[in-house]
């Protein structure tokens, strides 16, 4: 009892189970159902418009006769006959077979013979069944079969054409909407549209589209440019398909100009003109002469951005062997094959000449892909190439095709290092540093005695060992952790 | 959101009733049959030809609906229906569903079982229009 009392106490606190209008909700659902049903049926009819309905064997029959024979009442009639004359199931099943056969082949006289043969019952019963069959089915079937249904179809077609003419009516859009308000509900596009005063998207009906249009442009617009802007650039019309846009343009033009539209009175729908195919680009045939090739535009010279880290080549001593003759930009390039666009592994055997460097940017070299941009990718950045002469550097651009600086094989280099510094402590060797191969010291000269050159920061690239930067002897109270680490 | 949910539900009940309605028991199949029975003639065809291989859907075909199917349905629908009814176990299942429907009605009625008998008989009678 106490439990129920508690529950009763809770009831007022909980929200009312039916705090909405059930009838209106039901009505909304019913309307939505009808709308969906209508759309589905239209789509179904479009899909199966030309579908085969009856087998080919029935093609010679008048469709009206087929429809008559397919009536469900016939089955009930056969059931009654079977009951009345106490026919077996087999005998009852033979009745429609006989009727179909007679009607299909128009052998009306053979009906009695077939009944006698297939039913194998007494003559009196056969005559009664024959009379009932003729009275209910065969007489009407004969009439239908004797009609020239081909001519009938033609007549029906002509009638429908006349009827169509009568049902189609031309009148101004505003008049049509006034006389037939249902026209405003006709959908002209596929996706819902947004009206400014409505929180939710609404049906893309003529009425809603016109509401949006008049809200955006105004009622008495005569400017086709404004209309065109709306059709192509308004928020609702942005994603329209060409066909939908054409329909919208037709409606809006009729609205603005007061031009007449065609209305189907029976269907209460506006009949849109058949959409003309959109002009497509004419395909270029093999025989179409191509336009004359335009002369290649002159290379655009970009202003070079001063890079503080970049030392212009002109400021450095030139090296005749490393700098090839720059190619003039107007000189025709030799034909380049596809192999010139593929990246190859650097070859150590043949080292191509370094690319010319000009203050106006990289010049075009045959066989290399070049870009006019002053910005450089990481692999394009300039790095110093150590020449044979100590201290002479040459700036080169890394080229994927171009090989790295020539080096002896790894084993030879290892042997060379071993033979050069057999007794040196490992702490003084620097196997992992970049730079040229270490210089051989005289036998009586200690590493600390080497005349030290000014320290130059060199970018670490490649595997060249640096000989110029000799190690300074560390103070006695400092442990060289780095070299000890590498030694391990 | 809710509108979309209701729209989808309504749409699915028309297009894929054999999926929307569970069919684990005869009672559930009978529920599908009642739904099919409530549809109008043309609406029955919206569910596609393959739906006519489900016993729950066949059990819901009314006399008017089968006449409409015979006169208007495309070839695939008829072939599917005929092939399904040729199978004995489908016929048996359809009759069980019809019996379950009659039990729902009570009063010892057999109207749904009679309807199914007539349906099968109609297809037998007009086999020439169903066989391609």
Q: Whole domain around residue B63: which residue ranges?
A: 27-130
Is A200 in CB contact (< 8 Å) with chain B?
yes
Q: Which residues of A touch B74 (CB under 8 A)?
A: 48, 51-53
- The predicted-structure confidence for B69-92, as pLDDT tens digits, reads as follows 999 999 889 999 999 999 999 999
Is A449 in CB contact (< 8 Å) with chain B?
no
Contact state of A75 with B125 under an 8 Å Cβ cutoff:
yes
Residue with tokens 């700036």: A395
Predicted local distance difference test score (pLDDT) of residue A285: 40
Q: Which residues of B touch A66 (CB under 8 A)?
A: 71, 129
Predicted local distance difference test score (pLDDT) of residue B93: 95
Burial of A18 (0-12, 13-18, 19+ CB in 10 A): exposed
Contact state of A53 with B14 under an 8 Å Cβ cutoff:
no
Q: Which long-range contacts (CB under 8 A, 24 or more apart) does B19-27 make?
A: B21/B56, B23/B54, B23/B56, B26/B96, B26/B97, B26/B100, B27/B100
pLDDT above 60 (res B68): yes
Interface of A with B in 35-54 (CB under 8 A): 36-37, 40-41, 44, 48, 51-54
**Between helices B75-86 and B88-105, what is the axis angle to 10°?**
90
Check if the beta carbon of residue A331 is closer than 8 Å to that of residue A286.
Answer: no
d(CA B8, nearest CA chain A) in Å? 10
Predicted local distance difference test score (pLDDT) of residue A441: 45
Assigned domain for B93 exists: yes
| Mean pLDDT computed over every residue of chain B | 91
What percentage of chain B carries pLDDT values higher than 70?
A: 98
Q: Structure pTM?
A: 0.47
Q: Which residues of B touch A57 (CB under 8 A)?
A: 128
Contact state of B128 with A51 under an 8 Å Cβ cutoff:
no
Interface of B with A in 59-98 (CB under 8 A): 63-64, 66-67, 70-75
Pick from B72, B125, B130 the residue to mutate for testing the A interface (most A CBs within 10 Å): B125
Q: Please give the C-alpha separations between residue A93 and each of A74, A269, A329, B63, in angstroms, as whole numbers.
A: 12, 48, 97, 18
What percentage of chain B carries pLDDT values higher than 90?
A: 74
Contact state of B128 with A67 under an 8 Å Cβ cutoff:
no
Pick from B48, B75, B126, B132 the residue to mutate for testing the A interface (most A CBs within 10 Å): B126
Is A30 in CB contact (< 8 Å) with chain B?
no
Q: What is the ipTM of this complex?
A: 0.91
Q: What is the SS3 string spanning chain A?
A: CHHHHHHHHHCCCCCCCCCCCHHHHHHHHHHHHHHHHHHHHHHHHHHCCCCCCCCHHHCCCCHHHHHHHCCHHHHHHHHHHHHHCCCCHHHHHHHHHHHHHHHHHCCCCHHHHHHHHHHCCCHHHHHHHHHHHHHHHHHHHHHHHHCCHHHHHHHHHHHHHHHHHHHEEEEEHHHHHHHCHHHHHCECCCCCECCCCCCCCECCEHHHHHHHHHHHCCCCCCCHHHHHHHHHHCCCCCCCCHHHHHHHHHHHHHHHHCCEEEEECCCCEEECCCCCCCCCCCCCCCCCCCCCCCCCCCCCCCCCCCCCCCCCHHHCCCCCCCCCCCCCCCCCCCCCCHHHHCCCCCCCCCCCCCCCCCCCCCCCCCCCCCCCCCCCCHHHCEEEEECCCCCCEEEEECCCCCCCCCCCCHHHHHHHHHHHCCCCCHHHCCCCCCECCCCCCCCCCCHHHCCCCCCCCCCCCCCCECCCCCCCCCCCCCCCHHHHHHHC
Predicted local distance difference test score (pLDDT) of residue A438: 43
Q: Which residues of A touch B63 (CB under 8 A)?
A: 72
Is A379 in CB contact (< 8 Å) with chain B?
no
* DSSP 8-state code for residue B53: G
Q: pLDDT 10s per residue in chain A (488 long)?
A: 444 444 445 555 555 555 677 888 888 888 888 888 888 898 888 888 878 888 888 888 888 889 999 999 999 999 999 999 888 999 999 999 999 999 888 888 888 888 888 888 888 888 899 999 988 999 888 888 887 665 555 565 666 666 666 677 888 888 888 888 888 888 888 888 888 878 888 888 888 898 888 888 887 777 888 888 888 888 888 888 888 888 888 888 888 888 888 888 777 788 887 655 444 444 434 433 444 444 444 444 444 444 444 444 444 444 444 444 444 444 444 444 333 333 344 444 444 444 444 444 444 444 445 454 555 556 555 555 444 444 444 444 444 444 444 555 555 555 555 554 444 444 444 444 444 444 444 444 454 444 455 555 555 554 444 444 455 666 777 766 666 555 54
Query: A450 in the Ramachandran plot: left (φ > 0), alpha (ψ -120 to 50) or beta?
Result: beta
Domain count, chain B: 1
Contact state of A53 with B64 under an 8 Å Cβ cutoff:
no
Assigned domain for B111 exists: yes
Which among A291, A363, A350, A283 has a CA at the least distance from the CA of A323?
A363
- The predicted-structure confidence for A463-480, as pLDDT tens digits, reads as follows 444 444 455 666 777 766
CA A55 to chain CA centroid, nearest Å: 41
* Euclidean distance between CA atoms B8 and A36, whole angstroms: 10
Pick from A30, A35, A37, A202 the residue to mutate for testing the B interface (most B CBs within 10 Å): A37
d(CA B5, nearest CA chain A) in Å? 11
Residue with tokens 């393959």: B50
- Nearest CB partner across the interface for A72, out of B15, B46, B63: B63
Reported residue count of chain B is 132
Residue with tokens 């596809």: A338
pLDDT above 80 (res B54): yes
Check if the beta carbon of residue A253 is closer than 8 Å to that of residue A259.
Answer: yes
pLDDT above 50 (res B110): yes
Total Cβ atoms within 10 A of residue A145: 21
Assigned domain for B19 exists: no
Give every CB contact of residue A210 below 8 A, 6+ residues apart in sequence.
Answer: A184, A251, A252, A255
Residue A193 β-bridge partners:
A202
Contact state of B7 with A93 under an 8 Å Cβ cutoff:
no
- The predicted-structure confidence for A120-143, as pLDDT tens digits, reads as follows 888 888 889 999 998 899 988 888
Q: Which residues of A touch B121 (CB under 8 A)?
A: 75, 79
Is A89 in CB contact (< 8 Å) with chain B?
no
Which among A99, A100, A104 has a CA at the least distance from the CA of A112?
A99
Q: What is the mean pLDDT of residues B12-41?
A: 92
């Amino acid at each position: 009892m106490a439990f129920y009392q508690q529950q009763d106490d809770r009831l007022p606190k909980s929200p009312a189970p039916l705090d909405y209008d059930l009838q209106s909700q039901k009505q909304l659902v019913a309307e939505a159902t009808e709308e969906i049903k209508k759309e589905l049926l239209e789509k179904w009819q479009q899909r199966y418009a030309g579908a085969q309905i009856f087998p080919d064997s029935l093609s010679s029959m008048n469709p009206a006769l087929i429809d008559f024979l397919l009536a469900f009442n016939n089955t009930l009639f056969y059931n009654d006959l079977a009951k009345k004359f106490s026919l077996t199931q087999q005998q009852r099943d033979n009745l429609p077979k006989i009727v179909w056969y007679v009607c299909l082949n128009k052998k009306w006289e053979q009906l009695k013979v077939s009944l006698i043969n297939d039913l194998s019952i007494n003559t009196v019963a056969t005559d009664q069944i024959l009379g009932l069959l003729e009275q209910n089915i065969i007489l009407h079937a004969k009439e239908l079969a004797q009609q020239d249904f081909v001519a009938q179809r033609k007549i029906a077609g002509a009638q429908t054409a006349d009827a169509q003419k009568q049902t189609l009516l031309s009148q101004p859009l505003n008049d049509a909407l006034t006389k037939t308000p249902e026209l405003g509900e006709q959908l002209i596009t596929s996706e819902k549209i947004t009206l400014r005063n409505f929180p939710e998207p609404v049906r893309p009906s003529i009425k809603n589209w016109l509401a949006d249009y008049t809200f955006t442009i105004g009622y008495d617009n005569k400017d086709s440019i404004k209309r065109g802007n709306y059709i192509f650039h308004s928020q609702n019309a942005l994603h329209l398909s060409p066909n939908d846009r054409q329909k919208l343009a037709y409606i809006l033009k009729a609205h603005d100009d007061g031009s007449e539209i065609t209305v189907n009175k029976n269907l209460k729908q506006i009949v849109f003109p058949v959409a003309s195919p959109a002009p497509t680009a004419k395909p270029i045939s093999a025989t179409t002469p191509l336009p004359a090739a335009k002369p290649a535009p002159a290379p655009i010279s970009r202003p070079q951005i001063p890079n503080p880290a970049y030392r212009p080549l002109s400021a450095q001593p030139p090296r005749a062997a490393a700098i090839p003759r720059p190619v003039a930009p107007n000189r025709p390039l030799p034909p380049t094959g596809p192999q010139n666009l593929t990246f190859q592994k650097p070859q150590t055997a043949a080292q191509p000449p370094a690319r010319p460097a000009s203050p106006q940017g990289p010049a075009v070299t045959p066989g290399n892909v070049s870009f006019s941009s002053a910005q450089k990718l990481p692999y394009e950045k300039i790095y110093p190439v150590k020449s044979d002469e100590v201290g002479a550097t040459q700036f080169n651009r890394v080229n994927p095709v171009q090989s790295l600086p020539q080096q002896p094989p790894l084993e030879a280099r290892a042997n060379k290092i071993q033979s050069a510094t057999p007794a040196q402590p490992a702490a003084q060797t620097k196997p992992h540093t970049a730079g040229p191969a270490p210089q051989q010291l005289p036998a009586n000269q200690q590493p600390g005695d080497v005349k030290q050159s000014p320290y130059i920061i060199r970018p670490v690239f490649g595997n060249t060992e640096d000989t110029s930067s000799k190690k300074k002897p560390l103070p006695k109270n400092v442990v060289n952790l780095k070299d000890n680490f590498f030694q391990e | 959101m809710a509108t979309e949910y209701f729209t989808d539900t309504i749409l699915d009940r028309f297009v894929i009733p054999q999926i929307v309605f569970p069919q684990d028991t005869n009672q559930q199949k009978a529920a599908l049959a009642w739904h099919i029975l409530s549809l109008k003639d043309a609406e029955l065809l919206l569910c596609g030809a393959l739906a006519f291989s489900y016993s729950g859907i066949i059990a819901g075909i009314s006399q008017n609906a089968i006449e409409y199917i015979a006169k208007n349905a495309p070839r695939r629908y008829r072939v599917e229906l005929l092939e399904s009814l040729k199978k004995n176990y489908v016929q048996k299942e359809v009759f069980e569903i019809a019996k379950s429907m009659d039990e729902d009605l009570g009063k010892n009625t057999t109207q749904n079982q009679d309807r199914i008998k007539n349906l099968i008989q109609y297809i037998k009678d007009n086999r020439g229009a169903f066989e391609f």
